[in-house]
A and B are shown apart, each in its own frame.
Chain A
Amino acid sequence: AQRVTQPEKLLSVFKGAPVELKCNYSYSGSPELFWYVQYSRQRLQLLLRHISRESIKGFTADLNKGETSFHLKKPFAQEEDSAMYYCALSGRGNTDKLIFGTGTRLQVFP
C-alpha cells in the first residue's frame, strides 16, 4: 500500500533549537519525496524535494531508502518557521498525483 506517515501532529520548540519533523513512507518502487508547507492564511506550497538535494530556508531532508524515511531537519528553528508541514510522495508514472501524510504542526516559541 502507498502511504505516508507523519507520527507527530504537533512539534513545539524554542527559537534556536534544532528541529526534526519525521516522515516515513510505504511504496513499492522508487518514489519521489517532497515536503510541502502551509503558513498561516497562506496556500500550500512546495518547500523542497529529494531529487533536488537542496536546502531551502535552512531546511534539509535526506531520503533514506533503507529506513523508508524522509525526515525534515533544521539546525536552528526560527519563529517564522511556525507552520503546517506535509510530507508527500509521488510515484514515477504518467501522473504526478501526490500522496500526503496527515501533517505536523510546528510551533516555534520565542
Chain B
Amino acid sequence: DVVMTQSPLSLPVTLGQPASISCRSSQSLIYSDGDTYLNWFQQRPGQSPRRLIYKVSNRDSGVPDRFSGSGSGTDFTLKISRVEAEDVGVYYCMEGTHWPPITFGQGTRLEIK
C-alpha cells in the first residue's frame, strides 16, 4: 500500500501568519485517467472531518480562499495564507489513486501560538 507522510506533525502558528503542511506519497499519485486523487481534510476539535481540497488544488464549496492546495506526483502542500482562530484542528491528506485501499496521512495538528 501507498504510505502518506505528513510534515510537520505539529504546527504552532501566530494568528494572521501563513501556514504550510506537506504531504508526501511513497508512489506517484497520478492515475491512468490523468487525474491526481489527493484530497485534504480539516478536523476541528470534537467535529467530523470536512473536506477542504479535492484533486490537489480544487477548493470545496464554502471553503475560504485562504486555503490552497498544490503539488504533483508525490509531493503536495496545503497552505493557509493567514491563519485564523477557527483554523485550529488536525489536517489530513488522503490519496485514492491507488484504491483500494484509501490511505490517509498521519495528520498535522495546527495550533495558535
Q: Do A and B come from one complex?
A: no
